Structure 1
């Protein structure tokens, strides 16, 4: 029994091995075998959709020698794709056509189990309905083709009728042409006499026309030469004008104030606050020009150029010697340092002389808040050791207001903050509370008294640490 089972397994495997053996480059390769191996490799690679396509092509060939293998592998591929009904139908066909097949041992147990649950009679009935539908569609296609053939035959008959009518019309035309030719021969001698007289008249007129044409051509040549000389002069003047304009723009590379001037006095950049810097852009050249504006501010800065509230990157065309006002809106980061001297680079590029951009800087002084916190602790309140207090004093000694200031206070886990009469705060964790969104003017001082209760037994005393952050 074991030898018989091994033989059943080896037979289909040997068939597949024969199909996959390498062939010489010049040997004939069966399209049928190639198609099956392509489907088999797709099945091995778990590309079941491609395998279904290849095996289905082989099933369309009733005389295929690989029909038995194709039925089995197509059933397995459909089962892997989740189409158990189609798998059951294919196994039914395989059993009907190959009742003595030895490929049963190659089928998966779950495939045999699940397909056995399928009502094959219902599938056969559905397949029969599909066959009837296909035959009906084929009959309708044949009827359409017949109607098309009849239509083409009618068109051909109409074309032949038109060809006959055309041939008859051509015959009549030829006869008429012959009659006209004979009449023309009769009139030829009279025509020659008239033509001779006409030729003499034309020759005289032609000589006169050639004389007038020569005079006109000479006048046009002189006019063209004059126009060309004027064009060359205009182009030369334009080139000189362009060169002079570029020279004026290039001169501004070493003297940027010729092109851009800051309209305000000393500039102060307040941390986190947008500032408006009026810029006057002047065209120092002798041609109308426009300028592309760009900033190269440090990381964290925000900037844009506007004219009449509309963002721009390039100015409108500016007449020679004229100016236009541009607003530079810049917002420094909150990390700028109080009193820091800033030189923020700006680049202007002429649309006419763009090969040498003009770089300049805007000088300003940074203004920022300098905030500090002082914490004072009270280990007992009115002699009550179960209560404690922390007084947090916040100072701003910078030149700018501290807006959106947050105070994070860390306290021992043995103390619980309470809100009875103390500052308003929010709890972050078991040992951290926060007082948020404060505004503290320059030179300002705010104090916050926070009450605590001892959690559990006694404590060695309270200690608080305050950390300040700006948003």
Structure 2
């Protein structure tokens, strides 16, 4: 039974230690929560249980969703139990077990309170107030454990008495002694089985409660899943309706756009037909330019292919290097694992050899002891028992024959008989332990006094054995020489006492209030079967740190400041030394003024405040401020994680704040190469634009044009970002959707009218409006300046009457008053047959009709040209003949438009 209890307690302690290392992050509460809770905790520490009950109830009533709820219910149950309210204590502790079945604090609950919870869960009606009244904390073992220990000791004592009684009877009564020992052993076995059955019943009850809790959680999960499915279905239907509406609107928009495009296409076709007629003469030059462009593109493609091949080669080399590095790392890892396994096997072999050597040494020592006993006490019961033990070990040892002294001749007596007796040595001891009156602080070494009394009838020494795990580092020592570890007491005379200490170090992983039960044992050096064990009941004392993190804003705009209030609590029974607070903030935050609170920045990712000390029941409050960066994405959830690191106990607990959500912000920016563009009437121009989403959310940007009615437009998506319209680039009426800070390149294609005069201007503007917030739009404005050639012809000369054969002259002056160059300027002069052209400056040419032609390739803006013509009237011209000279001026602009 004792071994079963010890194993159970060890398993429970290990589970609690593991659970304490897996502390789940808590979520933030208000500072008032923590203030009320810490006041209740301090009242419990001062044994003002009624005040503790009032404070914990206030926390649960005012803040039912507080993350300190588990601790509030736990301490409310314990305070109610200490105050004598058994029914409330059992109800609250049962609620704690059901809501937090995995809490490590379950192992710190008093046994009497656990018994009340078991009775309460079975439906037993408990009294509101205990008959014993209010309790104060005690350090003695529980009644259940004490009764179990007393029962085990009684069974062991009965077995020992039966064995001693059997040793004093004759050989013929050996069978009776064996039966007595069997009966005593059966009694101990019955007690052990009863305790095992009780433990099995308690385990079955715990499993039943866990199954009920799991069933309730499963039903709740199914309900939430059904609710979520219904919500998702409704959302899907709503999205489908919205999608249908959008598709309908899109179809109408596409139809309208198609009609407009058809109209524009028709106009464009007419313009293209005219342009083809004008551009026929330039086709050869354009073809040559196209060939040159093709050659350049082919060379560029070859260059790109070479660059791509080089990049592919570099990438292949990098991949090969990465693969070689991974193979090398894998080989090194396998070699390290193999070396570790070989090292572990070597260590295990050394441990096994050491154990075998130890067992062999102990066996030799036992054989020597048995032989010594046979030699020193030949013919005694003890010698016979020692010989039997040696026989069991396969060793035969014959005691030396004692020297027989010559006895004087006995006088003959009538009816005289002599009985010779010899008292054998009896081994027994008492072990007394002085249990600690208060909890033992984790991470520190403590001493537990004990006494060993020799209750045998001869000098004996006793082995000291500990059942504490290795992490406790248990050591025995003499109370007078604590620095020297021992495992065997000095030789003790009958009734002599040995005062010693057991030195243990409570592991750092122990949680506050954790119960520790481990045995220590003394065994006689003369007779190892004569032993006695006692359980040591300990309670761990450790700091229990909690952090409360609260934000003053639930929604934050980029550029705004947000403050966090951090409250640290120590709700353990021991002081916390070397505590460091580490605030891990997201990269979207920039800390502001953190030095005033004593924090220092670490790696631009955390604020650290170390070297703190918090006594039991103490709280500290800090306030830190962060500024949200402009590049924060909309609807991101930002958390501040507070890590509490206890460097003395090497523990870390994490606590997370409530989420601060980034508010969505809409914005768009447009840029173009220039704000003014000079065009020729009838010219088709392409204007590249760059649209940028300056907001923090994914945005669809609508295009709203504002153009003169005689200007046709089309907006294209510039896929390759070269500013040139390609055949595969689609026509668009919106941009996006664009991610935050994403840019999109578009081309605005304008068709200007032919009828615009030189020097006139028109404003073209496009509004780019975010779909979610149309007040945050941007305007791209462009001023069109029309420029064309305007050539005027002025003729001056001497008119009047001329005689036949008389010579006269006139001048033809033409000036380009426009703002653009005139090309292919041609002056055609038609003279009647009565006139004869004598001379001309510059020279002329004649066409098929006989008209005189003067041609100039170009005439710049404000440029003037003059033609001087000398003529005479032909002989034989009749008097009164009216003679007129007709001059016609023709020219083109740079697009080939004729005037």
Greater Rg by CA: 2
Tell me the TM-score normalized by structure 2.
0.23
**Larger strand percent:** 2
More helix by share: 1
